[in-house]
């Protein structure tokens, strides 16, 4: 009897669940003529009730938090990954995955053209459309992939657990920040997260392929250094 690959089955189940979540919201939004769903309105009202006045604590805290799903902070994380891995397959997969996640999100935004929440209630300016959330898609890919890389890296267990916790907290807070700042609905951030996780699962499998076939397991910087010595 063939042994079941539970890890692969779990990843496939995760991808299917994320696909279901995205399709569910995509269909519901289309049926509602791109208007906010009842769930969106309830979540929006809750966020607006608790956020207080603009330029208060919530404003500055979540303006900072939302940057962890933005180009600048993500770019810094990519640079750290490149330096740490000496630009091996892990850094390359991270960059390719982010690129795919961004392209897919741009394509989906162009398809749906959903308007963002009321401009008067926004705490920051955004020019693109609302569905799905680009920040949520970015953190949905980036931080689960970092968790996967850390899990397969030989570092102290305590450090691993800290990194797991930081990544999970950042995913939740970045998603929440998009609603607190008034630039997304709940359905936007959940759909964006689903897109990001689907892309992340694909690149986790590519990670295993690289390890299996010894592709780019020696960092590009190390290879250049070795070639110069020879």
CATH of the domain at 65: 1.20.144
Instruction: Assign 9 to helix, strand or coil.
Output: helix
Quote the percentage of the chain above a pLDDT of 70: 92
Least confident segment among 111-125, 144-158, 173-187:
111-125
What's the pLDDT at 175? 96
- How is residue 22 written in tokens? 């995205």
The answer to whether position 87 is within a domain reads yes
pLDDT, tens digit (0-9, with 9 covering 90-100), for 86-112:
888 899 999 999 999 999 999 999 999
Query: Rounded to 10 degrees, what is the CA torsion of 96, 101, 103, 106?
Result: -160
Instruction: Assign 132 to helix, strand or coil.
Output: coil
What's the pLDDT at 85? 87
pLDDT, tens digit (0-9, with 9 covering 90-100), for 1-34:
566 677 778 778 888 999 999 999 999 999 999 8
What's the pLDDT at 87? 83
State the residue range of the domain holding 117.
6-229
The answer to whether position 1 is within a domain reads no
Q: Answer yes or no: is pLDDT of 230 > 70.
A: no
Backbone angles phi, psi at 117, to 5 degrees: -55, 165
**Catalytic (active site) residue 135:** yes
Given 18, 135, 171, 174, the catalytic residue: 135
Given 140, 179, 184, 201, the catalytic residue: 184
- Mean per-residue pLDDT for 65-93? 92
Instruction: Assign 66 to helix, strand or coil.
Output: helix
Altogether, the residues listed in the chain come to a count of 230
The answer to whether position 57 is within a domain reads yes
Q: How many domains does the chain have?
A: 1
Instruction: Assign 129 to helix, strand or coil.
Output: coil
pLDDT, tens digit (0-9, with 9 covering 90-100), for 193-221:
999 999 999 999 999 888 888 876 666 66
Report the alpha-carbon angle 148-151-153, nearest 5. 110
Mean pLDDT of the chain: 89
Q: Please tell me the number of Cα atoms within 13 Å of 202 on its side-chain side.
A: 16
What's the pLDDT at 215? 72
From the list 201, 212, 211, the residue with the least C-alpha distance to 100 is 201
Q: Which residue has 């091996």 as its token pair? A: 88
**Catalytic (active site) residue 156:** no
**Cα separation of 55 and 150, whole Å?**
37
C-alpha Rg value of the chain to the nearest Å: 19
- Mean per-residue pLDDT for 113-129? 87
Greatest alpha-carbon pair distance for the chain in Å reads 66
Distances in whole angstroms, Cα of residue 101 to Cα of each of 31, 32, 179, 198, 226: 26, 26, 21, 9, 34
- Name the pTM for this structure: 0.89
Query: How buried is 50 (Cβ within 10 angstroms: 0-12 exposed, 13-18 middle, 19+ buried)?
Result: exposed
Distances in whole angstroms, Cα of residue 19 to Cα of each of 23, 63, 168: 6, 29, 20
Q: Answer yes or no: is pLDDT of 180 > 60.
A: yes
């Amino acid at each position: 009897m063939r042994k079941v690959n539970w890890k692969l089955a779990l990843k496939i189940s995760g991808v299917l669940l994320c696909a279901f979540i995205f399709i569910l919201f995509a269909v519901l939004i289309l049926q509602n003529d791109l208007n906010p769903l009842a769930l969106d309105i309830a979540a929006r009202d809750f966020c607006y009730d608790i956020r207080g006045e603009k330029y208060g604590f919530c404003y500055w805290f979540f303006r900072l938090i939302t940057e962890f799903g933005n180009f600048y902070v993500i770019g810094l994380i990519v640079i750290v990954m490149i330096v740490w891995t000496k630009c091996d397959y892990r850094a390359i997969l991270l960059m390719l995955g982010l690129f795919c996640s961004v392209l897919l999100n741009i394509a989906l935004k162009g398809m749906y053209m959903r308007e963002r929440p009321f401009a008067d209630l926004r705490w920051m300016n955004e020019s693109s459309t609302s569905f799905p959330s680009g920040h949520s898609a970015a953190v949905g890919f980036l931080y689960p992939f970092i968790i996967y890389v850390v899990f397969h890296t030989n570092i102290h267990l305590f450090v691993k657990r800290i990194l797991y916790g930081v990544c999970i907290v950042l995913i939740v807070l970045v998603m929440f920040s998009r609603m607190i700042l008034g630039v997304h609905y709940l359905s936007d951030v959940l759909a964006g997260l689903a897109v990001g996780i689907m892309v992340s699962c694909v690149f986790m499998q590519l990670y295993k392929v690289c390890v299996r076939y010894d592709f780019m397991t020696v960092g590009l910087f190390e290879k250049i250094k070795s070639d110069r010595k020879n």
